[in-house]
Amino acid sequence: MNEDRLNLPFVGIPTFLRSPIRTDLKNLDADIAFLGIPSDEGSPWYPGARMAPRVVREMSVRFAEYGAVQQAAGIYDIDTDKHYLQYERRNERIVDCGDVDILYTNPAGTFANISDATSDILQAGAIPVVFGGDHAVSYGVVRAYEEPVSVVHFDAHLDYRPFVHGVEYANGSPMLKIGKLPHVRQMVQVGTRSIRTSKAALQESLDRGNDVVTVNGFRDQGVDGILRHLPAGGKVYVSIDIDVLDLPLVPGCASAEPEGFRFEEMRQMLFAIARHADVVGLDVVEINPMLDVRSNNTSLLGAQLAVETIGRVVEQPAYLARKGRTAQ
């Protein structure tokens, strides 16, 4: 008698959510494409974020459930009494595209590879779900978009550091670079709170027309303080620096800061954006497994944020219309 494999989390080769591997990006057939960018060459403090895509994959299998039947059930949310990602899991519409090839000591070459891989995913009509690496990599991803997008940037920092000594592919400067891209429209920067923030960087962000919502500002205004800056149904790219969460939640983050968001606050902000806008891309960066606790809590948390957010993104009317589907 043949039975489906149980496939416990510690068995087998880990891919994101135990999804099939699809590394031929020129012939990609998928709706959601996981892409790793294991680069931390732009980190001026502790290195190690390059190891995140590998560890995030390992942690994500805990959300894949055991055996084919349970995996096909999707992701169940007890609060909403609803399964998410059922269609995508049953029909293998989520795939793991492997990692971008990193050209060490050649950041321009690495970033060309990042943009090329992202472009291939977009040309296939899939949503890239990207894990860095440090935050510098987000520029290479957003640069690949051809249509106008707004950007929601979750971070304890503004990432508007000037290019000192010609250092521009650094994790303190991606939003400065992204803000100069001609197809990037509104930028909303959420969670800023670090006392290392400079007034000059804040002014440059504001002069560009960005909206800056601090942690305290969010708690005063609620999620409407974010959504009112984004066109309803408009295309949005979401970039999540894991340090936007409170320091004790993210021990595996070199840039963690106190007094950040609670996990539930973060979830609900992401869910609200997914309902309000058409999310066309997502990255999670600055997870550093070399610093994390033994149970890899920070990687697990990052994987969960991505999985739960995508579960809401694929129910957005604009997304379903592109796929010729209706809400279930």
Tens digit of each residue's pLDDT (9 = 90 or more) over 239-271: 999 999 999 999 999 999 999 999 999 999 999
Residue 4 marked in a binding site: no
Q: List pLDDT tens digits, range 213-225.
A: 999 999 999 999 9
**Which residue has better confidence, 328 or 34?**
34
131: helix, coil or strand?
strand
pTM: 0.96
Share of the chain above pLDDT 70, in %: 97
pLDDT of residue 129: 98
Of 177, 280, 190, the residue nearest 237 (C-alpha):
280
pLDDT of residue 202: 98
Average per-residue pLDDT for the chain = 95
CATH class, range 16-323? alpha beta
Lowest mean pLDDT of 1-15, 18-32, 123-137, 184-198, name the range.
1-15
Helix 297-313 to helix 263-276 angle, to the nearest 10 degrees? 20
Residue 165 marked in a binding site: no
Lowest mean pLDDT of 171-180, 239-248, 318-327, name the range.
318-327
pLDDT(130) > 80 = yes
What angle is formed at CA 12 by the lines to CA 8 and CA 18, rounded to 5 degrees? Answer: 75
Averaged pLDDT, 134-145: 98
Residue 159 marked in a binding site: yes
pLDDT(52) > 80 = yes
Q: Encoding tokens for residue 29? A: 């057939």
Starting from the edge strand earliest in sequence, which strands make up the sheet with 211-214, in order?
Answer: 94-99, 32-37, 127-132, 278-285, 235-241, 149-154, 184-192, 211-214
pLDDT of residue 6: 85
Give me the torsion for CA of 317, 323, 325, 328, rounded to 10°. Answer: -60
Residue 83 marked in a binding site: no
Residue 292 marked in a binding site: no
Residue 243 marked in a binding site: yes
The model's confidence at residue 66, banded by pLDDT at 50, 70 and 90, is confident
The model's confidence at residue 328, banded by pLDDT at 50, 70 and 90, is low
Say if residue 179 is preceded by a cis peptide, omega within 30 of 0: no
Q: Quick one: 66 exposed, middle or buried, by C-beta within 10 A (0-12, 13-18, 19+)?
A: middle
328 CB-near residues (< 8 Å, 6+ apart): 86, 87
pLDDT of residue 71: 66
The model's confidence at residue 68, banded by pLDDT at 50, 70 and 90, is low
pLDDT of residue 1: 44
pLDDT of residue 271: 98
Lowest mean pLDDT of 121-125, 163-167, 196-200, 299-303, name the range.
163-167
pLDDT(48) > 90 = yes
